[in-house]
């Protein structure tokens, strides 16, 4: 009997606990709702009818267009300017520069160079346009045959020397022509040694002479002449103008 009473009390306590916990229905009586039982969970629920879309599908392109940056002012101006240039008159290209060349007179003596420069400055309007380069030519010595009485006599002697296998060339210096040089040397001593060799080959009438002393020459250059200026320079120099050559 006592055991049955204990079991009954345990069952009654369990039923009371289950009812109070909501397992058997509302614990607060007939008026109690889910809101009263779980207020925190229900407060966190999302109510669909209260939701509002910030970017509706129909308004997205308009919003993007409004947010897009406007084109830079300089690009717009360039586009406008290009259009205007396409329809307007294009400026004419500049005329090509007139071609110019460097011309020179080489191997002039100092006296010749002075005369040429004076003529060019006075008659062509090229004053101050020329440059001058000085060169010193070393002395030149030769083993010499001549002078021959005529050109025919020179040619006969050349034929004899060719048959003997001796090299030679004509001498064009006015004081020595017509004549032949059996060799050209930079010093008198070297020329005299060559003369001994020629005499051993049977050339008895050769001798050593100086073909050219040490000489200072001048090269005049006009570095940037137009075709018209070149023509005026040639005319002003007369015969010397035929020696004008393009600069190397």
**Model confidence over 130-181: pLDDT tens digits?**
999 999 999 999 999 999 999 999 999 999 999 999 999 999 999 999 999 9
Do 130 and 231 lie in one domain? The reply is yes
Report the SS3 class of residue 241: helix
For residues 204 and 196, give the distance between their C-alpha atoms in angstroms, rounded to a whole number: 10
**What is the token pair recorded at 44?**
């966190």
Residue 10 lies in a domain: no
Do 205 and 237 lie in one domain? The reply is no
Do 193 and 226 lie in one domain? The reply is no
Tens-place pLDDT, residues 182-193: 999 999 999 999
CATH of residue 233's domain is 3.30.70
Q: Given phi > 0 = left and psi -120 to 50 = alpha, else beta, which region is 113?
A: alpha
Residue 64 lies in a domain: no
Residue 12 lies in a domain: no
For residues 215 and 110, give the distance between their C-alpha atoms in angstroms, rounded to a whole number: 10
For the chain, the average pLDDT equals 81
Q: What is the mean pLDDT of residues 78-103?
A: 69
Residue 112 lies in a domain: yes
Do 159 and 209 lie in one domain? The reply is yes
pLDDT above 90 as % of the chain: 55
Containing domain of residue 128, as a range? Answer: 101-136+216-246
Of 120-129, 134-143, 203-212, the range with the lowest mean pLDDT is: 120-129
Residue 196 lies in a domain: yes
Who contacts 183 (Cβ-Cβ below 8 Å, separation ≥6)? 142, 143, 167, 191, 194, 198
Measured torsion, CA atoms of residues 243, 244, 247, 248, in degrees rounded to the nearest 10: -30
Do 209 and 220 lie in one domain? The reply is no
Do 146 and 184 lie in one domain? The reply is yes
Q: What is the mean pLDDT of residues 194-214?
A: 96
Tell whether the model's pLDDT for residue 121 goes beyond 80.
yes
Residue 64's pLDDT is: 47
Residue 125 lies in a domain: yes
Residues 214, 136 contacting (CB under 8 angstroms): yes
Tens-place pLDDT, residues 38-74: 555 555 655 556 656 665 555 555 454 545 555 555 5
Tell me how many domains the chain contains. Answer: 2
Do 129 and 153 lie in one domain? The reply is no
Q: Higher-confidence residue: 35 or 135?
A: 135
Do 168 and 233 lie in one domain? The reply is no
Do 165 and 184 lie in one domain? The reply is yes
Tell me the backbone φ, ψ of residue 183, rounded to 5 degrees: 175, 155
Tell whether the model's pLDDT for residue 84 goes beyond 80.
no
Residue 59 lies in a domain: no
Do 146 and 169 lie in one domain? The reply is yes
Residue 229's pLDDT is: 94
Residue 47 lies in a domain: no
Do 131 and 225 lie in one domain? The reply is yes
Residue 151's pLDDT is: 95
Residues 241, 124 contacting (CB under 8 angstroms): no
Tell whether the model's pLDDT for residue 246 goes beyond 80.
yes
């Amino acid at each position: 009997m006592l055991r049955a009473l204990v079991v009954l009390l345990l069952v009654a306590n369990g039923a009371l606990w289950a009812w109070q916990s909501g397992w058997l229905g509302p614990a607060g009586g007939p008026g109690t709702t889910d809101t009263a039982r779980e207020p925190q969970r229900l407060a966190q629920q999302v109510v669909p009818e209260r939701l509002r879309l910030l970017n509706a599908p129909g308004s997205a392109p308009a919003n993007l267009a409004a947010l897009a940056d406007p084109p830079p002012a300089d690009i717009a101006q360039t586009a406008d300017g290009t259009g205007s240039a396409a329809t307007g008159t294009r400026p004419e290209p500049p005329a090509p520069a007139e071609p110019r060349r460097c011309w020179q007179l080489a191997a002039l003596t100092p006296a010749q160079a002075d005369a040429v420069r004076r003529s060019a400055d006075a008659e062509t309007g090229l004053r101050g346009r020329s440059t001058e380069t000085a060169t010193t030519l070393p002395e030149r010595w030769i083993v010499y045959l001549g002078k021959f009485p005529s050109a025919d006599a020179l040619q006969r002697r050349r034929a004899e020397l060719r048959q003997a296998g001796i090299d030679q060339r004509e001498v064009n210096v006015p004081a020595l022509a017509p004549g032949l040089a059996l060799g050209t040397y930079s010093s008198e001593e070297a020329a005299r040694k060559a003369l001994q060799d020629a005499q051993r080959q049977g050339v008895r009438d050769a001798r050593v002479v100086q073909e050219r002393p040490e000489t200072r020459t001048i090269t005049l250059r006009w570095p940037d002449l137009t075709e018209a200026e070149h023509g005026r320079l040639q005319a002003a120099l007369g015969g010397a103008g035929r020696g004008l050559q393009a600069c190397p």
